Structures are given as C-alpha cells and as structure tokens.
C-alpha cells in the first residue's frame, strides 16, 4: 500500500528540553515549571479520559 505525503497527517509535539542549571530556585519554582509542562501536553484531560470508567 502506497501513501503520499499529503495523505498522511499526524499532529506531533516536541518534548521541551529541560536543562538544569546551578541556580538558587525555591521548590515552588520547580512546581510552576512542571505545571506549565503538564498544561501544555494536556495531562489532566488525558488522565481524566483514561480513568473515566472508575
């Protein structure tokens, strides 16, 4: 089966690169970074849909 490039559609998301630097950040700053990442990838919606049957 042959498929043309135009017939193949896929939504992709690049995983953000996380770099750790020697900075004096409080733990709350780390939580904010993860909260932003989870919102960006739609983690809450994905988990809700997976566990809706429970």
What's residue 39's pLDDT?
92
Q: Rounded CA gap, 22 and 16, in Å?
A: 19
pLDDT digit string (tens) for 2-54? 666 666 666 667 777 877 777 776 778 778 888 989 999 999 999 999 998 88
Longest dimension (CA), the chain: 56
Is the model's pLDDT at 1 over the cut of 60? Answer: no
The three-class DSSP label of residue 9 is coil
| Cβ neighbour number for residue 2 with a 10 Å cutoff | 4
């Amino acid at each position: 089966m042959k498929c043309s490039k135009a017939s193949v559609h896929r939504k992709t998301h690049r995983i953000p690169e996380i770099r750790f630097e020697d900075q004096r950040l409080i733990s709350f700053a780390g939580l904010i970074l993860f909260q932003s990442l989870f919102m960006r990838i739609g983690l809450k919606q994905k988990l809700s849909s997976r566990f809706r049957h429970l």
